[in-house]
Amino acid sequence: MTYIAKPKFQHPGLPKNDLGYTRRDYEGKISTLCAGCGHDSITASIIEACFHLSIEPHRVAKISGIGCSSKTPDYFLGNSHGFNSVHGRMPSVLTGANLANRDLIYLGVSGDGDSASIGFGQFAHSIRRGVNMTYIVENNGVYGLTKGQFSATADRGSKSKKGVTNADSAIDLVAIALQLGATFVARSFSGDKTQLVPMIEAAIKHKGAAFIDVISPCIAFNNHAGSTKSFDYVREHNDAVNRLDVITGREPITVDYAPGTVQVVEQHDGTRLALRKLDADYDVHDRLAAMTFLQKHAAKGQVVTGLLYVDAESEDLHDRLNTVDAPLNTLAAKDLSPGSAALDKINASLR
């Protein structure tokens, strides 16, 4: 925890985005997490992604639960809407907000405790309903706030800081999300921003439930030998299936890729994802194969990262419910109460 505020001065040559903002304009308060926390890198990645996409901060709602990870929305997008909800209840609050105002960009920030334990059910239902959101789990495998007990995502056989071996099976949130029908599923690592930043951009641009599991080492309680969520372990066992570039607008893809190594996925709003394949056989549109691939590699102790599954034809909760296009707060009395003539007509149709 740092006592001084981050100085207001910024590099004089810092680039500006289409809105005239610099990256610094997307910051929040200074982090009160432990020094070196992986979560702070995820915060920085969210800032970078929103800067790149030229997002207007007041068009974002950042919603979280309880835990180290759920504190982080205070540290980015200081000019956005925020709701620090009850433990594990981020998905419900987010779903409700999304139904009320479908025009905002929803950023759900949660942790492994918040999403894999107390909020496991909430997580599951928001995914299966296809709520249009970016759901980020900052996954460190321990309960950091209560001094490092294993969380539900800690791998079986991994060791705690005190040397205790975890005997329970781990919940793989990526596998669950795939099974529950998430239309954008990815995993990354807080220590690899070149992979993480475009992934967050792509998730924000995705319509529907976009889930990113970010392994984020807990410096205080889970960065030792024997941990499977330490910097060293993840770096050694990281098996990235692809790298991602997000191309917004109509610009042609100018990056020079070797032929056959790039797959372009176009999303609803025209955003294109250029996937540089690292694993030639991996098909990002095959949900079943993705699940098998994950299981096989997990058995070998490998941490599969990258964009694991994307459905370019995704739909969201509003499509399924056939809701009105406008946010509810823009509907006037006239829209909500069309008058007795309309009521008579409806009643007549039901007789």
Partner 1 sequence: MKPTDIAAPDYFHKVVDCQWACPAHTPVPEYIRLIAEGRYSDAYMINWKSNVFPGILGRTCDRPCEPACRRGRVEENPVAICRLKRVAADFKDDVKHRMPRPVPKNGKRVALIGGGPASLAVARDLAPLGYHCTVFDQDPKAGGMMRTQIPKFRLPDSVVDEETDYILDLGVEFKGGHRIDSLKKLLAENYDAVFVGSGAPRGRELNIPGRKEAAANVHIGIEWLSSVSFGHIDKIGKRVIVLGGGNTAMDCCRTARRLGGEDVKVIVRSGFEEMKASPWEKDDAMHEDIPILNFMVPKAFVHENGKLTGVTFEKVRAEYDAKGKRSLVPSGEPDQTIACDDVLVAVGQENAFPWIERDIGIEFDKWNMPKVNETTFASTHPKVFFGGDAAFGPKNIIWAVAHGHDAALSIHKLLSGEDISERPLPEVHISSQKMGIHEWSYDNDISGASRFKVPHRDKAIALRDIKAEVELGYDLKLALGEAERCLNCDVQTVFNTPLCIECDACVDICPMDCISFTQNGDEDDLRGRLKAPSPHHDQALYVSTDLKTGRVMVKDEDVCLHCGLCAERCPTGAWDMQKYLIEMTHAGSTCPSKVRSAA
Does residue 191 touch partner 1 according to CB under 8 A?
A: yes
Specify the amino acid at residue 85.
S
Does 58 engage in binding with partner 1 (CB under 8 A)? no
Closest CA to 218 of 147, 128, 296: 147
How many angstroms separate the CA atoms of 14 and 71, rounded?
27
Indicate whether 6 belongs to the interface with partner 1 (CB under 8 A).
Answer: yes
Distances (CA, A) of 221 to 21, 81, 167, 201: 37, 31, 18, 30
Q: Are strands 238-240 and 303-310 parallel, antiparallel or unpaired?
A: parallel
226 binds partner 1 per the rule CB under 8 A? no
- By CB under 8 A, how many residues form the interface with partner 1? 35
Q: Check residue 176 for interaction with partner 1 (CB under 8 A).
A: no
Residue type present at position 83: F
Q: Which of 62, 81, 193, 206 binds partner 1 (CB under 8 A)?
A: 193
- Scanning 9-17, 106-114, 200-208, 330-338 for contacts with partner 1 by CB under 8 A, the matching segment is 9-17
53, 201 Cβ separation under 8 angstroms? yes
By CB under 8 A, residue 74 contacts partner 1: no
For residue 93, the number of C-alpha atoms closer than 13 Å in the C-beta half-sphere is: 22
Nearest to 45 by CA among 197, 175, 188: 197
Residue nearer to partner 1 on the CB measure, 36 or 270? 36
Segment near partner 1 (CB under 8 A); pick from 41-49, 94-102, 264-272, 294-302: 41-49
Long-range pairs for 226-233: beta carbons < 8 A, 24 or more residues apart: 226/158, 226/159, 226/163, 227/141, 227/158, 227/159, 227/161, 228/141, 228/154, 228/155, 228/158, 228/301, 228/303, 229/139, 229/140, 229/141, 229/142, 229/154, 229/155, 229/158, 231/191, 233/303
Rg for the chain, CA atoms, rounded: 21
CB of 110 to partner 1, least distance (A): 20
Between 38 and 88, CB nearer to partner 1: 38
Among 29, 59, 156, 235, binds partner 1 (CB under 8 A): 235
**For partner 1, which residue of 25, 26, 37, 175 counts as binding (CB under 8 A)?**
37
Interaction pattern, residues 194-223, with partner 1; x per rule: CB under 8 A: -----------------------x-x---x
Q: Which stretch binds partner 1 (CB under 8 A): 7-15, 139-147, 258-266, 340-348?
A: 7-15
Question: Does 4 contact partner 1 by CB under 8 A?
Answer: yes
Nearest CA to 284 out of 257, 269, 262 is that of 262
Query: Applying CB under 8 A, does 16 fall inside the site for partner 1?
Result: no
When the beta carbons of 5 and 332 are compared against partner 1, the nearer one is 5
Which residues of this protein are in contact with partner 1, per CB under 8 A? Answer: 1-14, 24, 30-31, 34-38, 40-41, 43-44, 190-191, 193, 217, 219, 223, 231-232, 235
